[in-house]
């Protein structure tokens, strides 16, 4: 049987979201609103969240570093508890106080 690679189809919007998300430094977080503004669509917070939920490039595209504007974790395809665990591990590794 031949080993066929699955072709990943992403929209231009999703490409922008993933590229901007990759700029978030290790151990830091940004909001969905910040990401929406960064890609030039300041009112597209929910669309940003939807794109990140579909993220086929994790962990290279660190979608777990994107949180809600109120400071809550928001969603995560791998489960919110895993998102919090990843964020806590990164903050601890960088020497930040963990929530």
pLDDT of 6 reads 78
pLDDT in tens, 21-62: 999 999 999 999 999 999 999 999 999 999 999 999 999 999
- What tokens were used for 70? 């109120």
pLDDT of 23 reads 97
User: Residue 95 above 70 pLDDT?
Assistant: yes
Catalytic residues: 63
pLDDT of 3 reads 66
Q: DSSP letters along 33-72, please?
A: HHHHHHTT-TT-HHHHHHHHHT-TTTTTS-GGGEE-TTS-
The fold of the 12-94 domain, in CATH, is Arc Repressor Mutant, subunit A (1.10.10)
Distances (CA, A) of 75 to 40, 79, 96: 22, 7, 23
Question: Structure pTM?
Answer: 0.87
User: Residue 1 above 60 pLDDT?
Assistant: no
């Amino acid at each position: 049987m031949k080993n066929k690679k699955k072709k990943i189809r992403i929209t231009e919007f999703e490409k922008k979201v993933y590229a901007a998300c990759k700029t978030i430094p290790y151990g830091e977080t940004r909001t969905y609103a910040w990401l929406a503004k960064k890609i030039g669509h300041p009112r597209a917070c929910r669309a940003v969240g939807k794109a990140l939920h579909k993220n086929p490039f994790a962990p290279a595209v660190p979608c777990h570093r994107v949180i809600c504007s109120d400071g809550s974790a928001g969603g995560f395809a791998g489960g919110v508890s895993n998102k919090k665990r990843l964020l806590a591990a990164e903050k601890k590794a960088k020497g930040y106080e963990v929530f």
